[in-house]
Amino acid sequence: MKRNICFILTTAFYILSTVLLGCATVKEMGKGFAGISTKVLEDTRKDALKRSFPLDYDSSYAEVKKILLGKKEEKEPGQEGTGAYIYAEDPAKKMIAVYVSEADTTPVGIFFTVERKKKTLIEISSPSVYAKEYIAKNIFTGIDELLKPAQEETKPDVKEEPSNQ
């Protein structure tokens, strides 16, 4: 009888310790099993392609999602989304995790870091160099196109007239 109580208490303590102390590990293992883990993206972040943009965090986040999903107000011929499939968003980590496409499930992580009030660093990470470069090119080019009209508006519209001498 004493052995049964001791066994039950030991087992209960072991299970409780595993659940409480290893909660993040158990959660991450479940995500990995389901195929939606973002750990590999966080691990490859040190090798991310990085670029800063003069946009606040909310605008950067919204524009990246538009670019990924192809939601532009005025689409020009041949202008589509990246075809990427968003499989996870983590506001606490300021991250969007995507697959390159629905058919190509290579994971790519897009991380946002607020540098200043109106300046955000965007980092693109992936274990695949091709996937990282493909998504980075689309996002960086898309944001550059968004900012181009704003930058052109700040330039003075002065035309030099040839002098008649």
pLDDT at position 152 is: 58
pTM of the model: 0.66
The DSSP bridge partners found for residue 124 are 49, 110
Spatial CA neighbour of 55 closest among 45, 71, 66: 66
Q: Which DSSP state fits 159? A: -
pLDDT at position 98 is: 92
Contact predicate 143/67, CB 8 Å: yes
Contact predicate 136/124, CB 8 Å: yes
Give the 3-state secondary structure of 22-68.
CHHHHHHHHHHHHCCCCHHHHHCHHHCEEEEECCCHHHHHHHHHHHH
pLDDT at position 162 is: 57
pLDDT at position 5 is: 76
pLDDT at position 27 is: 45
pLDDT at position 105 is: 84
pLDDT at position 10 is: 73
CA distance 115 to 56: 9
pLDDT at position 36 is: 54
CA distance 140 to 58: 16
pLDDT at position 32 is: 43
The DSSP bridge partners found for residue 131 are none
Tell me the pLDDT of the chain (165 aa) as tens digits.
Answer: 666 776 676 776 666 556 555 544 444 444 443 445 678 898 888 999 999 999 999 999 999 999 998 864 444 444 456 678 899 998 888 999 999 888 888 999 999 999 998 999 999 999 999 999 999 999 999 999 988 875 555 555 555 555 555
Spatial CA neighbour of 29 closest among 39, 21, 20: 39
CA distance 47 to 123: 9
Fold of the 35-154 domain: TATA-Binding Protein (3.30.310)
pLDDT at position 57 is: 94
Contact predicate 121/95, CB 8 Å: no
pLDDT at position 31 is: 45
pLDDT at position 165 is: 52
Give pairs for 126-129: CB < 8 Å, separation 24+.
126/41, 126/44, 127/40, 127/44, 128/100
